[in-house]
Amino acid sequence: MSDLVLQGVSKNFGGLRAVGDVSFTVKDRSIFGLIGPNGAGKTTVFNLITGVYKQDVGSITFAGKDLKPLKPAQIAAVGVARTFQNIRLFAQLTVIENLLVACELQKKAHLAAAVLRLSAHYEDEEQMNERAMELLRVFDLQDVAEEPSTSLPYGNQRRLEIARAMMLKPKLLLLDEPAAGMNYGEAEGLKTQIRWLRDTFDLSVVLVEHNMQVVMGVCEEIHVLDHGETIAHGNADEVRAHPKVLAAYLGEDDEEDAPRAGKAEMA
Amino acid sequence: MTKPAKRKSRLPLVAAGVLVVVLLLDFFLKSIIPDSSIRQLLMLAACNVLVALSLNIINGMAGQFSIGHAGFVGIGGYTSAVMASNLHASLGGGEVTFGKSFIVVPLCLCASAGVAGLFGFLVGLPSLRLKGDYLAIVTLGFAEIFRLVIATAQANDGTAKVGILAKIGSGLSSLGGQNGYQGLNNQGVPLYAGPFWVFGLAFVLGVVAWRIKFSGWGRALRALREDEIAGAAVGVDPTRYKVTSFVLAAVGAGIAGGLMAMMRDGTPTVNPDNYNFTASFDAITMVILGGSGSVTGSAIGGVFITFTIKAIELLQSSSVVQDLKRSIEGLDLNALRMIVYAMVLVALMILRPEGLLGERELFQKKPTKAPAKKADQA
């Protein structure tokens, strides 16, 4: 069972509480939404899961394994892959190279084999190249495989990031605002793709997203954060009707919300 | 060289050709080029190519900034010089022959590579956890510490207690201090590395550098240079890759230093001043000039800078400059060299910030497609 379990997780940046006492469980093979207004701490939760930050209190376990002592690269090795809110591609590398970098963990042949050009090196490269091309076809990027990754239009860069994450053969995929900048049709396509990924590759997906069309349409369970704290949890209908969620998103007759409106999201 | 499995490659053929050429050079270079200073220049260029190739791993591919590369070259130089002198003595001294070089050179270079690599690990491990600027400071400090320790080490005059420190002190002082190490009993370092070794290794290590760049490991390193957080997120551990790259660069520098110390037609001494900041700066210029990240570019940079240094030296000794020197005291063209370099670098940064080749390679078949062949820049 590859469940992701967060228990009482808190993280402070100086005096600022970015995440406070958050607990939830992402069940194996489920699609889980993590939503909330800007600055709610959603991306911080992603950074805590992937080890970019370490929580001050609480525990994060994946498939029964405590993630706290692991470095980000080791967490990737356990099967947790992610994308980034502000796309992070390897700019100087081509599209296919971006994917091949994610193969380092699965390689059998190491540097010495590559320098000596042993047959293991060729087998590795061939296998990886095939898998990378396969994924590029899935994400409709096969024609730009040799292009520099930054020359792609925005939407393709987002898809390339997901393809790169998939190269890890993850059991858990964290998507940070994959629908940002997409129009209605593209967002509908994304919904299908997310479901297809889960079904084809047998993984769980956690989605941070502002696009409610996507979140409500695809997530089986939704967790709502505001000011780093849990305000609601449930399925789409439950969350949509929750008074605190409505208040957080639509504002309430309360001056407390006003200064927060323009605040940028945490890290 | 190991034969590449499967894929047919021109490499075995090229390697055999290079082997024949360097063998012939070893015996006949003297008759082809009677002027020993030109022979020295050519071999020095090959050694500097190795310096540039190794620095390119850390400054070009990994995107870190080391400004103390001469320290590792120096460690390699001293290690080989001391070991070659002792080996030469235990082989019975006498003539430096081509046959004996097959014992001396590989052993010495392995030792140089090992010691330099060890120091690379010790310096790299703590500093590479931090951001790039710190590495620059640490490497600069390390190179200067190395040079000054050797230059100022003095033998125990009897006043100090005989302990481990005193032993280390007297060991270091036997390296000759400021005057340089001149072999056992000041007989000079035996110069075993002929053109066979110098040009041959420049070719072999050039191929190695090329393959490192186009291996999965090199790709991961370049990815880290672009984005460490994204790299870690796909399982490439930044610290591990960066430390490995730093050790590899140190190993390469150690081999280059060892070759320089034992180079035929070179000076039979190793001097701490050969490894000062100017030498580190020269190495950086080679890499930046040729194109950071480019193997062939670094090689071109290495050759170019070696020749420029020599040209300025020749200019220095020309009668015109000598006359000028008599009239203007304190005229030093070596200082002028630093100004010229700085100007060239500034101009390069403005006009062509990526260097001559950028990250591209000469002889590259298809950009980034499955690693093509090899570099011929021996």
Answer yes or no: do A257 and A185 share one domain.
Answer: yes
**Which residue in chain B has the smallest CA separation from A128?**
B216
Answer yes or no: do A117 and A195 share one domain.
Answer: no
**Which residue in chain B has the smallest CA separation from A120?**
B5
Q: Which of A19-33, A170-184, B43-57, B332-346 has the lowest mean pLDDT?
A: B332-346
pLDDT of A53 higher than 70: yes
* Residue at which a domain ends, from A143, A167, A191: A167
Question: Could you tell me the CA-to-CA distances from B182 to B78, B85, B179 in Å, in that order?
Answer: 10, 9, 8
pLDDT of residue A104: 86
Instruction: Encode pLDDT of A87-132 as tens digits.
Output: 999 998 999 999 999 988 888 778 888 888 888 888 888 999 999 9
Determine the Cα–Cα distance for residues A92 and B152; give it in Å rounded to an integer.
46
pLDDT of B310 higher than 90: no
Whether residue A117 and residue B236 make contact (CB cut-off 8 A), yes or no, is no
The amino acid sitting at B57 is I
Answer yes or no: do A160 and A105 share one domain.
Answer: yes
More confident residue, B72 or B357: B72
The amino acid sitting at B326 is R
Instruction: Encode pLDDT of A219-262 as tens digits.
Output: 999 999 999 999 999 998 898 888 888 888 877 655 444 444 44
Query: Of all residues in chain A, what percent carry a pLDDT higher than 90?
Result: 63
Answer yes or no: do A45 and A64 share one domain.
Answer: yes
Nearest to B254 by CA among B187, B188, B201, B184: B201
* Residue at which a domain ends, from A144, A167, A190: A167
Answer yes or no: do A177 and A48 share one domain.
Answer: yes
Whether residue B229 and residue A52 make contact (CB cut-off 8 A), yes or no, is yes
Answer yes or no: do A150 and A179 share one domain.
Answer: no
The alpha carbon of residue B191 and the mean position of all alpha carbons in its chain are separated, in whole angstroms, by 17
Kindly list the domain boundaries of chain B, sorted by start residue. Answer: 37-148+187-351
Answer yes or no: do A98 and A62 share one domain.
Answer: no
CA distance B229 to chain A (A): 8
Answer yes or no: do A226 and A187 share one domain.
Answer: yes
pLDDT of residue B132: 65
Chain position carrying tokens 């320098």: A115
pLDDT of residue B252: 97
**Residues 220-259 in B contacting A (C-alpha not used; CB under 8 Å):** 220, 222-223, 225-227, 229-238, 240, 244
pLDDT of residue B104: 93
Q: What is the edge-to-edge ordering of all strands in the sheet holding A204-208?
A: A80-82, A172-176, A204-208, A31-35, A221-226, A229-234
User: Is the residue at A204 inside a domain?
Assistant: yes
Read off the pLDDT band of B161 (50, 70, 90): low
Q: Give the pLDDT mean for B19-46.
A: 89
Instruction: Encode pLDDT of A188-215 as tens digits.
Output: 989 999 999 999 999 999 999 998 889 9
Task: Domain count for chain A, please give it.
Answer: 2
* CB of A118 less than 8 A from some CB of B: yes
- Structure letter (DSSP) for residue A59: E
Closest residue to A103, CB basis, from B5, B216, B233: B216
CA distance A231 to chain B (A): 29
Query: The domain that contains A223 carries what CATH number?
Result: 3.40.50.300
Determine the Cα–Cα distance for residues A176 and A214; give it in Å rounded to an integer.
13
pLDDT of residue A266: 39
User: Is the residue at A87 inside a domain?
Assistant: no
* CB of B315 less than 8 A from some CB of A: no
Count of Cβ atoms closer than 10 Å to residue B48 Cβ: 28
Q: What is the edge-to-edge ordering of all strands in the sheet holding A16-26?
A: A16-26, A4-13, A57-62, A65-66
pLDDT of residue B376: 39
User: Is the residue at A84 inside a domain?
Assistant: no
pLDDT of residue B95: 84
**Which residue in chain A has the smallest CA separation from B205?**
A115
More confident residue, B230 or B157: B230
Closest residue to B368, CB basis, from A94, A114, A121: A94
Element (H, E) at A240: helix A236-241
Answer yes or no: do A262 and A178 share one domain.
Answer: yes
Answer yes or no: do A145 and A216 share one domain.
Answer: no
Instruction: Find the farthest-apart pair of alpha carbons in chain A and give their distance in angstroms, rounded.
Output: 70
**Which residue in chain A has the smallest CA separation from B218?**
A111
User: Is the residue at A86 inside a domain?
Assistant: no
Backbone angles phi, psi at A6, to 5 degrees: -105, 130
Query: Of all residues in chain B, what percent carry a pLDDT higher than 70?
Result: 89
Spell out which residues of chain A touch residue B205, defining contact as CB-CB under 8 Å.
Answer: none
Query: Which CATH code fits B37-148+187-351?
Result: 1.10.3470
Domain that holds residue A115: 92-167
Instruction: Encode pLDDT of B234-262 as tens digits.
Output: 999 999 999 999 999 999 999 999 999 99
Whether residue A97 and residue B217 make contact (CB cut-off 8 A), yes or no, is no
**Which residue in chain B has the smallest CA separation from A98?**
B223
The mean predicted confidence, pLDDT, of chain A is 88
Q: Where are the alpha helices (DSSP H) in chain B?
A: 11-32, 36-55, 69-90, 98-127, 132-152, 164-173, 195-214, 216-226, 228-233, 238-261, 277-290, 295-317, 319-327, 333-351
pLDDT of B365 higher than 80: no
Nearest to B378 by CA among B265, B262, B320, B299: B299
A148: its two tokens: 């520099």
Instruction: Please enumerate, as own/partner, the contacts of A264-267 that have beta carbons within 8 Å and a separation of 24 or more.
Output: A264/A38, A264/A39, A265/A38, A265/A39, A265/A40, A265/A42, A265/A43, A265/A85, A266/A13, A266/A18, A266/A39, A266/A41, A266/A43, A266/A44, A267/A18, A267/A43, A267/A44, A267/A47, A267/A53
pLDDT of B71 higher than 90: yes
DSSP β-bridge partners for residue A62: A4, A65
pLDDT of residue B2: 43
Count of Cβ atoms closer than 10 Å to residue A198 Cβ: 18
Whether residue B216 and residue A119 make contact (CB cut-off 8 A), yes or no, is no
Query: Of all residues in chain A, what percent carry a pLDDT higher than 70?
Result: 93
Spell out which residues of chain A touch residue B367, defining contact as CB-CB under 8 Å.
Answer: 94, 146
pLDDT of B33 higher than 70: yes
Read off the pLDDT band of B334 (50, 70, 90): low
Determine the Cα–Cα distance for residues B96 and B86; give it in Å rounded to an integer.
13
Determine the Cα–Cα distance for residues B23 and B197; give it in Å rounded to an integer.
9
Whether residue A50 and residue B233 make contact (CB cut-off 8 A), yes or no, is yes
pTM for the model stands at 0.87
Q: Which of the residue ranges A6-10, B13-17, B95-99, B323-327 has the most confident prediction, judged by mean pLDDT?
A: A6-10
SS3 A110: coil
User: Is the residue at A148 inside a domain?
Assistant: yes
Q: Taking the CA of residue A16 as centre, how many other CA atoms within 13 Å lie in the half-sphere pointing to its CB?
A: 10
Asked whether the CA dihedral A69, A71, A74, A76 is positive or negative, the reply is positive
Answer yes or no: do A43 and A156 share one domain.
Answer: no
pLDDT of A264 higher than 70: no
pLDDT of residue A263: 41
* Residue at which a domain ends, from A115, A133, A167: A167
Determine the Cα–Cα distance for residues B8 and B85; give it in Å rounded to an integer.
43
The mean predicted confidence, pLDDT, of chain B is 85
Whether residue A76 and residue B4 make contact (CB cut-off 8 A), yes or no, is no
Instruction: Encode pLDDT of B184-222 as tens digits.
Output: 888 889 999 999 999 999 999 999 999 999 899 999 999
